[in-house]
A = this chain, B = another copy of it.
Amino acid sequence: MASATDFERALRASALRVTRPRVAVLAAVHGHPHADTDSILGAAREDLGTVSHQAVYDVLRALTTAGLVRCIQPKGSVARYEARVGDNHHHVVCRSCGAIADVDCAVGYAPCLTASDGSEFEVDEAEVVFWGRCPACATAVPQAAEA
């Protein structure tokens, strides 16, 4: 896990001011992959004692814009953030418990990025979400995913 100094450097590299809340939020995202805003808020508060949720939202937006963190939100879930950026990885979401895990693209390159349809969209990013069941839930409910 990167140190506070690394986070400061990352912030400066993105032309962002270095403040206690920002470092704390950045550290929280690094320490809690796929955490929702509430968890991040909690983690940041453990660091600082007090942070307003508004600050966290603002910081997360700033970091997202700067490309330091990535925002994901599978349906049925609130916004979640992760620190892995720059690589082309995707996510598996468990239908049962909502757990999220990273998946490196199986084929080794951006899948289907060549959206060869007739819609003429300028595609610059492909986001893939896999749906299934995590090992724990698959074990707990062997066959029927429904209850």
**Chain A residues within 8 Å of B, Cβ to Cβ:** 71-73, 75, 79, 90, 92, 94, 101-107, 111-117, 119-135, 138
Contacts and interface: CB of A to CB of B under 8 A. Distances in A.
Copies of this chain in its oligomeric complex = 2
Given A92-B121, A125-B132, A127-B130, 19 more contacts: A90-B115, A92-B115, A92-B119, A101-B117, A101-B119, A103-B115, A104-B117, A105-B112, A107-B111, A111-B111, A111-B112, A121-B132, A121-B134, A121-B135, A121-B138, A124-B133, A127-B128, A128-B129, A129-B129
A103 B119 contact: yes
A141 to B, nearest CB: 11
The list of the 6 closest CB pairs from A to B, nearest first, reads A123-B132, A111-B111, A125-B131, A92-B121, A106-B116, A101-B119
Nearest to A130: B123
